[in-house]
A and B are shown apart, each in its own frame.
Chain A
Amino acid sequence: MIKKILFILLLFLSFFLSIIYGETYIPPNELINPTGIYSIILQNIRLPTVIATALIGSSLAICGAVLQMLLRNPLMDPYISGTASGGAFGAVLSYFLLVFNLPFAFLIYISPIIAFVFALISTLLTLAIGKRTGVYGLIIGGVVITFIFSAFVTILVTFISIKYPFVPSVTFWLQGEIIVINWYEDAILFILTIILVLLGIRSARKVDLVAISDEMAYARGINPNRYRIFWVSVVSIISAYIVSIVGIIGFVGIIVPHIVRRTIGGSTTLLVPYSALIGSPILLLSNIIASGILGTVIPVTSITSLIASPIIVYVMVRGIAYKGS
């Protein structure tokens, strides 16, 4: 109970800090009755960005938690699984086809769907590689797939930026940058996050069962591999949308479920709601560092990867005492 309260306080605190700290410092007294330039920044940039960051943090954390359970691997998240890189590739590809007047240029209109298709493909490729190669196979497979799709993103974006120098850079795509000026994007993120939270809570016991044993799942009438594909698709949809608006944000899905497991517990019934609760502050605080407090804008994924690294090393050194799937 007290942990719950602390986490909620952390959420409010990080929300508040994110609103006042950014590329421009907004003094707290301006929050109640914003005037002039502060009002413009708050309404058009700061608030939509902060809300988006909170929602993205929650969603990515839940995605990481569910993937970790279903794939029996505590180092899984939408980035390591290759999902985010596939999504980035899909998004960039649709721009590329348009810019160079290639066939299928009309795909730009459904660019988030193309992002989803490639997010799904990249994840399935990672699963295919990982299935046969033991506990670490999934991670190595994900890293390889991420390399491949990131390379393609780099190449395509380089060519696009020759023609149009002001498109989002390679760094934006591969390392993320959360700047949201459209409330419409917040609305979609909100809907996706709510669906994810509700779906996650409702499915929690089922996810737990599939995690423990495929045989037990079959006996209770669940096809575990089809269920995994279902959730991979859900994660791909959400990751693809997030990547197409803010680039690849990685490692939140590793950091947050790990914290939840250590402080609260590891059943999916706990992982989903608490990952949502802790995911927001983690990304909000990382984004405060990333968005200008150190003097300049730093890509967000570099911050999250630094936070995640000790956790990753710790998990590996303690031995992934789990049997692979």
Chain B
Amino acid sequence: MLIKGLSVKIRDRLILNEVGLEFIKGLNVILGPNGSGKTTLLRCIIGMIKPSEGRIEIEEKEKSYSPAEFFSAEMNVMDVLLAGGSKKDYMRYLKLLGIDNFINRNFSTLSTGEKRLVLIAKALAEGDLVLIDEPTSGLDLKNQINVRNILSSLKDKMIITCTHDISIATIADRVALLKEGRIIAQGEPVNVLTEELLSDLYGVKIKRIWVDDRNFVFV
């Protein structure tokens, strides 16, 4: 999937500036600080926002979306999963995320993090192209690690997530850095997640530490 020259202007503010991206099967992460235009990018992909320039080339795929903000509807988790009329193997993804016991609970009584897990499970079950806005936001450490591992293991789907959580980017198949509406780097994590680029992206000094010969973390 390709994005070429995408620009989005909202009320005279240039939110995305000639964004060019390539996505592959597996986990694609768009990393950027708050306000860099990540959610706008995702919304362009699903057609909610029309770009002022550029285009998006997607093959015909079933899309799904897990939003950062949503309405806390008063219904069963089962009904939330069935919303939209799809019939998919939701239980499989609920089990993966460790929330299969939520199935009969009232969605509005779950914690924010639990609700987000439900919507992530729904999106993973329904789409071949899965868009997730801030997958680990609001999650405790155990769930953060769990979600990270699950997202990186689903190689037959094209998952596009945007986040400011660097630890997801380190295990991605492809990473892009979005700074103030511009892509400043994209490619494999080891090449993109360098100290210089990340310090530039976040405006703070960041040090990269190798944990073993494949994994690294940041402080």
Contact = CB atoms under 8 A, between A and B. Distances in A.
Interface in A201-245: 205-206, 208-209, 211-220, 222
B138 interface: no
Contacts of B126: 220
A321 B108 CA distance: 9
B76 A265 contact: yes
A208 B84 CA distance: 7
B83 A205 contact: yes
B197 interface: no
A219 B80 contact: no
Given A72-B71, A212-B70, A323-B72, A205 B85 contact: yes
Contacts of B84: 205-206, 208-209, 216-217, 220, 222
Contacts of A265: 74-76, 79
Most buried by A among B48, B63, B64, B71: B71
Contact of A322 (B71, B75, B79): B71
B64 A267 contact: no
10 contacts: A69-B73, A205-B85, A206-B85, A212-B73, A216-B65, A216-B66, A216-B119, A219-B46, A219-B64, A220-B84
Contacts of B72: 321-323
Given A212-B80, A215-B67, A220-B126, 12 more contacts: A205-B84, A209-B84, A212-B70, A212-B83, A213-B65, A215-B46, A216-B65, A218-B43, A219-B64, A219-B127, A261-B74, A325-B71
Interface residues of A, number: 26
Given A72-B71, A212-B73, A213-B70, A218 B48 contact: yes
B131 A219 contact: yes
Contact of B65 (A205, A208, A219): A219
A34 interface: no
Interface in B88-132: 108, 119, 123, 126-127, 131
B63 A219 contact: yes
B73 A266 contact: yes
Interface string B32-69: 00000000001100111000000000000001111101
A269 interface: yes
Interface string B176-198: 00000000000000000000000
Interface string A64-76: 0000010010000
Interface of A: 69, 72, 205-206, 208-209, 211-220, 222, 261, 265-267, 269, 321-323, 325
Contacts of B65: 213, 215-216, 218-219
A269 B84 CA distance: 11
A214 B48 contact: yes
B71 A216 contact: no
B82 interface: yes
A321 B47 CA distance: 29
A325 B70 CA distance: 9
A213 B67 contact: yes
Contacts of B131: 219
B73 A211 contact: yes
Contact of B79 (A72, A208, A214, A215): A208
Contacts of A208: 73, 75, 79-80, 82-84
A267 B79 contact: yes
Contacts of B119: 212-213, 216
A213 B71 contact: yes
B78 to A, nearest CB: 9
Q: Which 3 A-B pairs have the closest CB atoms?
A: A266-B74, A267-B79, A219-B65
